[in-house]
Amino acid sequence: LLNAAPMHDVGKIGIPDAVLRKPGPLDAAAMRQAYLEADVFLLPSCCENSPNSLGEAMLLGVPCAYALARSPSRAARWFEELLTLPVAVPGLASALALILVYGQLAGFRQSFAFILVGHMVFTLPFMVRTVGAAFRKGELRALEEAARSLGASFAQRFLGVLVPAVLPAIVAGSLMVFTLSVGEFNLTWMLHTPLTRTLPVGLADSYASMRIEIGSAYTLVFLIVILPVLWGLQAIGALIEKHHGT
C-alpha cells in the first residue's frame, strides 16, 4: 500500500493492483485504517527526506564552507570542529539531545521537519568539509582577488566565479550527503513517528517482526527510488569534472 505521490514510478514495475494500491491523500482516520491493513505502508517522508536533506545541506553548507574558509579567526576553526562533532557522537545520543530540547514542541516533534533537522545535523559537516577544502585552494583565492579588482560585487564573485570553480567538490559533497541520509538509521529510529517513518526504519521493523517478504518489498522500493538518483549524481559529477576539471 502506497500513500506517496513521488512514488509513481513504483507502479511501472508490473505489480498487480491487488498488491499495490495508491490511495492518495488520506485524512487521519483513513490513514490509520490503511496503516493497520497494509503490510508495507509508504509515505512521502519515506523517500523525500534524503533529497530535502541534500537541498538544505547545499543551501547552508556551501555558504558556511566559504565563510569558514575565508575567516582567519580561531573562533572559526573551533566552530568548524564543533560542526563536525555530531559525526563522532553516536546517532542515538544526538537524537536524544534533539528530543530533550525540542520534544515539547508537539507540532515540530510530529512533523517531517524534525527528522530533517536530525539528518542536517549529521550530514552538514560532510558538505562543509568537502567544499571548504576546495575554497581554501590558493588559485581560487587569486581568482577571487582578480574578480574583486575588476569591480565584481560579492554576489558576482561568489555565484559567477567561486561556485562554478568548486562545482566538483559540491557534487562530491552532495553524493556523500545523499548516501548518508538515505541509509541513516540510528538517529532516525529515535526521531521518527508512524507517519514520518523512513525506508531504513521500515526495513528494520519488518526484519524485527520476521516478515522477510515485507523486508524484501521495502528493499525493492529502496533500490527503485535510490539507484536512479545516485546514478544521476555520479553522471553530473563526471560531466562537471570533464568541463571544469578537479
**The C-alpha cell of 97 is what?**
539531545
Give the residue with greater pLDDT, 222 vs 121: 121
Q: Rounded to 5, what percent of the chain is helix, strand, coil?
A: 80, 0, 20
What is the average pLDDT value for the chain, to the nearest integer?
78
In this structure, of 15-19, 146-150, 151-155, the range with the lowest mean pLDDT score is 15-19
Q: What is the mean pLDDT of residues 132-138?
A: 89
As a whole-number percent, the residues of the chain with pLDDT over 90 amount to 7
Which among 43, 94, 50 is positioned nearest to 202, based on CA atoms?
Answer: 43
Own/partner contacts of 218-226, CB < 8 Å, gap of 24 or more, are: 218/40, 220/13, 221/7, 221/10, 221/40, 221/42, 221/46, 224/9, 224/10, 224/13, 225/7, 225/9, 225/10, 225/47, 225/199, 226/50, 226/182
Residues sharing a CB contact under 8 Å with residue 175, sequence separation 6 or more, in sequence order: 230, 233, 234, 237
Query: What is the rounded CA–CA span in Å between residue 78 and residue 104?
Result: 30
pLDDT digits (tens, 9 = 90+) for 174-208: 888 888 888 888 888 888 877 777 778 878 878 88
User: 205, 26 in Cβ contact below 8 A?
Assistant: no
**Does the structure show a pLDDT above 50 at 103?**
yes
Query: What is the rounded CA–CA span in Å between residue 94 and residue 61?
Result: 19
For cell 535510490, name the residue. Answer: 226
Query: What is the rounded CA–CA span in Å between residue 227 and residue 13?
Result: 15
User: 49, 191 in Cβ contact below 8 A?
Assistant: no
pLDDT digits (tens, 9 = 90+) for 39-95: 555 555 545 556 667 777 788 889 999 999 988 888 888 998 888 888 888 888 888
User: Is the Cα dihedral 226, 227, 230, 233 positive or negative?
Assistant: negative
Q: What is the mean pLDDT of residues 10-33?
A: 54
Which among 193, 68, 188, 179 is positioned nearest to 118, based on CA atoms?
Answer: 188
In this structure, of 16-25, 59-68, 106-115, 222-231, the range with the lowest mean pLDDT score is 16-25
**Does the structure show a pLDDT above 50 at 238?**
yes
pLDDT confidence tier of residue 12, bands split at 50, 70 and 90: very low
Q: What is the reported pLDDT for 18?
A: 45
Q: What is the reported pLDDT for 128?
A: 92
**Does the structure show a pLDDT above 50 at 7?**
no
What residues does 42 pair with on adjacent strands?
2
pLDDT confidence tier of residue 5, bands split at 50, 70 and 90: very low
Q: What is the reported pLDDT for 3?
A: 42
Regarding pTM above 0.75, the answer is: no
